[in-house]
Structure 1
Amino acid sequence: MTIVFNKEEGRFMSQPAVTVLSGFWPDITFAAARALLAADPSLLLVRHDLAGVRDGVVHRVVRTGSGVLEDERVDLVHGCVSCTLREDVLPTLVRLARAHPDRDLLLVLPEAVEPQSLAAACAYCLVDGAPVTAAVRFDSYVTVVDAARVLDGLSCSEELAHRGLHAADDDRRAVADVIARQIEYADTVVRWGQSTEDDQCLAVLLDRMAPWAAHLAVGGSIVDGTDLAERLRHTGRHRPDTPAVLARGIEGYAVGVHEPAADSGVVSAVFRARRPFHAVRLHRALGRITAGVLRSRGHLWLATEPETVVAWESSGAGLSVGTLGPWLAALPDARWDEASDLRKLAAAMEWDPYYGDRHSHLVFIGLDLEAAELHRLLSACLLTDAELSAGEEHWRQWANPFDGVALGA
């Protein structure tokens, strides 16, 4: 709990802290939640069962370590995860904070929900006309992974729909996508149990996937809830102004660490370039570029899309591209105010007189990757000097296998 001064009401008010707990394996996530409840009987745990969300029905449970306070069915106007966050999850947090201002909250997300979607909802949704953060303080986003299953999960190309976990009828996410994004967004990653493979390899892999997070291991059949609570709660690790993972590069943050020498078999290779990719050559090389890669992310510059920052991410065998909006160089000066100060500063520091802020910034993470060969493959997909000199108008006429996809169409 934090005491803050409310300017509108002219008084100090209690502001409960929220710890957000996510993870793809409910038994492991709930084991962590139970340990935290045992350590603090006053903690309020909130969780939602989304099994019926596509039919507009959600099951909400609020409990403490000593018993259930609420067990209710919630009927939604529209059946989707974002509607659930907007219509019930955030209002529930605000309502509980007002009713129990001296009790902190533990929000346990369903297994297929990515924590970044909650953070995005907090950024634009109002509850009773006020931001959610006027009532609660989001202290930390914690992701719990099952040490025995996470490596298989990160390689799994099976879609959530095949397991009945899809958030909407058009949800095409794969298991690996969700697990990777849960790990990456966390400010704290908990490795629960023992790996069936190499525990040190897993520890290094998780650190490479989320180098900005605190990492801790919980093993054994008996968990010290008090010790776990001291390491997970009231850490103040969450930074709401940190950009979304795929947008980190254009905001001046690192998208990953460059550790091309294998550490316990794990390689993390960063690739940067100040000339664009040739769309056809890149498309032809995708299979070789992503072979053996567990996770890659970042953004790139396609010659055939000179206005668009193209988002790139792969998980396991899947690859997707999208848009992060326009390059600053493609915007008139009057629209530069739409960009954050950090992005403008990052662009100014590396501004090119011809191409402005356009560049590519990617990271590739996997086991026993050949970093030098990967760099060679990517470099071969960039424009040659002759192609570069042909100019932007000429590039636009080339075939683009990413057309429509890169533009989010």
Structure 2
Amino acid sequence: MSSSPQAPADAATVDADIRPSLTVLSGFWPAATFAVARTLLAADPSLLLVRHDLTGIRDGVVRRVVRSSAGIVEDEQVGLRHGCASCTLREDVLPTLVRLARSHPGQDLVLMLPEVVEPEAVAAACAHCLVDGAPITDLLRVDSYVTVVDAEHLLDGLASTDDLTTLGIQAAEDDHRALADVVVRQIEYADTLVLWGQSREGEFDTGRMSILLQRMAPWATHIRVDGDLVDAGALTRQLRHTHRHRPETPGVLARGLQGYTLGAHEPEPDCGVVSAVFRARRPFHPQRLHDVLEEVNAEVIRSRGHLWLASQPDTVVAWEFAGGGLAMGSLGHWLVSLPEDRWEHVEDQRRLAAALDWDPYYGDRHQHLVFIGLDIDPVDLHRTLTGCLLTDAELADGEEAWRTYPDPFAGCFPLGAAELTDTDTDTDTEGTQPA
């Protein structure tokens, strides 16, 4: 079964592109991801698969393996100047892809990421890192970012409260990411999601996992594969030469600001899965919102979005919850808080989205949050969040009074004194405060 909300690429442009295609495979469960990779190799003898083993990365060494359907093409230990995943991308992954594109012209590539690497990091490296003075897209066309999810382990991964350091699989010494954060980011960045295998609880639970993935990533193409019986040709047609990757699409947390879909409002349970979107114009009272943080996420698997606090009316506050932990950080300025001559530094798409939804009093400021979970009550959730908004009397006090409210979030989302740059809508929330 598959579904795709993506519009087809322009046929003339596609036909004229003679660069080899690159399919990027990610997934936290390597057995399932490698099973998909082997299936693709079986269907195309000319295909090359590139993998990097990060087991020795903290000692500054990784193992690179390149294989085809006929067997191993390369198997080498690679020394790094610094032991981290981002260094591996810059120093060996991208140069290897370029080298293979030159030495094996006409042969497509599949890059299988280590389980702790997020596909968005690869996309950023492809966009900004040069190899021999040029971007890799001069030689390769990034066709699709495919995330493979193991149906047997998905819920356990999403509910896990472990971090990578505790598990001993961190990608760098300072890698403090939670397991659930890695899983949701792999799922949400993908343009194609493969649900591999069956849940140990049976077909109903497997169907529920499929619906959960559709709610988490409604923008992706969804494919279900029975791991015991795989049609290599059919799976290849579903995963390769799809032209699904759109490099201009922003990261998940910034999508709502730029007018993209942030989540689907599906309040009626489907196999128990509920997705509820909360939108409002009024600001949140900081103390009342702080008081309900645990309550609103109690039964939630994933929540994400952005909001504005009455006490910090200049700041777009990012919100993301997974694995029992909520992180909030700054996504930069609301446009209404900036002089118009600074708007030229903001993406065109965001300015357009703001103009289409501009309010004469609030400007572009608004609440936009998505909550996804099993058997959550969307009415109760909406009632709780609405109770955190400013009342009519509080609105009448005005912005100067709002800034004086007691604020448990004070100092958590600094904008800094620097002038706005293109990074003002960056989705990186490094330094965010767990709530």
For the aligned pair, the TM-score class normalised by the smaller chain equals over 0.9
Mapping for residues 298-309 of structure 1, pairs under 5 Å: 298-309=305-316
TM-score by length of 1: 0.94
Counterparts of 1:101 and 1:400, CA distance in 2: 59
Letter in 2 for 1:89: V
User: Which residue does the alignment assign to 2:98?
Assistant: 94
Give the Å deviation of 1:50: 1.4
Question: Aligned equivalents of 1:101 and 1:296: distance in 2?
Answer: 44
1:253 maps to 260
Residue 100 of structure 1 and its aligned partner are, at CA, apart by 1.4
Task: Letter of the 1:157 partner, please give it.
Answer: T
Asked if the contact 1:300/1:360 (under 8 Å) is kept, the reply is yes
**Partner of 2:165 in structure 1?**
161
Q: Distance in 2 between matches of 1:250 and 1:85?
A: 29
**Aligned-partner SS, 2:371:** strand
83-92 or 180-189, larger mean C-alpha shift = 83-92
**Does residue 140 in structure 1 map to residue 147 in structure 2?**
no
1:149 matched to 2:156? no
Is the 1:14–1:101 contact (alpha carbons within 8 Å) kept by the matching residues of 2? no
User: What residue number does 1:324 align with?
Assistant: 331
Partner of residue 59, structure 1 = 63
Measured after TM superposition, the shift of residue 319 of structure 1 is 0.9
CA positional deviation for 1:220: 4.3
Trace 1:6-405 onto structure 2 (pairs within 5 A): 14-197=18-201, 198-405=205-412
2:212 aligned counterpart, secondary structure: helix
Q: Distance in 1 between matches of 2:404 and 2:129?
A: 42
Alpha-carbon distance between aligned partners in 2 of 1:165 and 1:404, rounded to the nearest angstrom: 32
What are structure 1's unaligned runs of at least 5 residues? 6-11
5+ residue gaps, structure 2: 1-11, 415-430
Deviation digits for residues 235-284 of structure 1, max 9, x if unmatched? 11111111101111000012100010111100000000111111211111
- The answer on whether the counterparts of 2:306 and 2:319 sit within 8 Å (CA) in structure 1 is yes
- Greater CA deviation, 229-238 or 298-307? 298-307
1:392: Cα distance to partner? 2.0
Deviates more, 1:286-295 or 1:275-284: 275-284
Q: Give yes or no for contact 1:293–1:316 (8 Å, CA) kept in 2.
A: no
* Inter-partner Cα distance in structure 2 for 1:37 and 1:93: 17
Task: Tell me how far apart the structure 2 counterparts of residues 106 and 115 of structure 1 sit (CA, whole Å).
Answer: 13
Say which SS state the counterpart of residue 137 (structure 2) adopts: helix
- Aligned 8 A contact 2:196 2:225 in 1: yes
Distance 1:206 1:102 in 2: 34
User: Could you say what secondary structure the match of 2:257 adopts?
Assistant: helix
2: CA distance between counterparts of 1:64 and 1:396?
61
Deviation at 1:13, TM superposition (A): 8.1
SS in 2 for 1:294: strand
1:61 counterpart SS class: strand
Change (3 A) 1:386 1:174: same
Q: How far does residue 34 in structure 1 lie from its aligned partner after superposition?
A: 0.6
8 Å Cα contact 2:178/2:323 also seen in 1: no
User: Equivalents in 2 of 1:165, 1:281: separation in Å?
Assistant: 38
2:210 partner letter: A
- Measure the CA separation in 2 of the matches of 1:406 and 1:13: 44
After TM superposition, the structure 1 stretch with the greater mean CA deviation from structure 2, 58-67 or 268-277, is: 58-67
Distance in 2 of aligned mates of 1:324 and 1:118: 21
Rounded to whole Å, the distance in 1 between the matches of 2:219 and 2:209 is 16
Contact 2:51 2:113 in 1 (8 A): yes
Displacement of 1:168 in angstroms is: 2.2
Structure 2 CA distance, aligned partners of 1:332 and 1:226? 56
Q: Secondary structure at the match of 1:306?
A: strand
Distance across 1 between alignment mates of 2:380 and 2:60: 49
In percent, how many aligned pairs have the same letter?
A: 64
Aligned to 2:419: none
CA contact (8 A) 1:20 1:141 kept: yes
Q: TM-score w.r.t. structure 2 length? A: 0.89
Distance 2:308 2:371 in 1: 17
SS at match of 1:116: helix
What's the CA shift string for 1:168-193, capped at 9, x where partnerless? Answer: 22322111111111111111111111
Code of the aligned partner of 1:84: T
State the Cα deviation string for residues 121-152 of structure 1 (Å, max 9, x = none).
22211222212211111101111111111011
CA distance in 2: counterparts of 1:253 and 1:220, whole angstroms: 33
Q: Distance in 2 between matches of 1:47 and 1:220?
A: 21
Contact 2:195–2:223 (CA<8 Å) still a contact in 1? yes
**C-alpha distance in 1 between matches for 2:377 and 2:314:** 32
> What number of residue pairs does the alignment pair up?
401
**Letter in structure 1 aligned against 2:78:** V
For residues 55-75 of structure 1, the C-alpha deviation after alignment (integer angstroms, 9 at most, x for no partner) is 322211111111212212222
CA 1:330–1:56: 2 relative to 1, 3 Å? farther
Query: Residue 82 and residue 405 in structure 1: after superposition, are their counterparts in 2 closer, same or farther (change >3 A)?
Result: farther
Question: Which segments of structure 1 move beyond 6 Å, counting only runs of 4 or more?
Answer: none
Distance 1:52 1:329 in 2: 49
Are 2:61 and 2:78, in contact at CA under 8 Å, matched by a contact in 1? Answer: yes
What amino acid does structure 2 have at the position aligned with 1:31? A
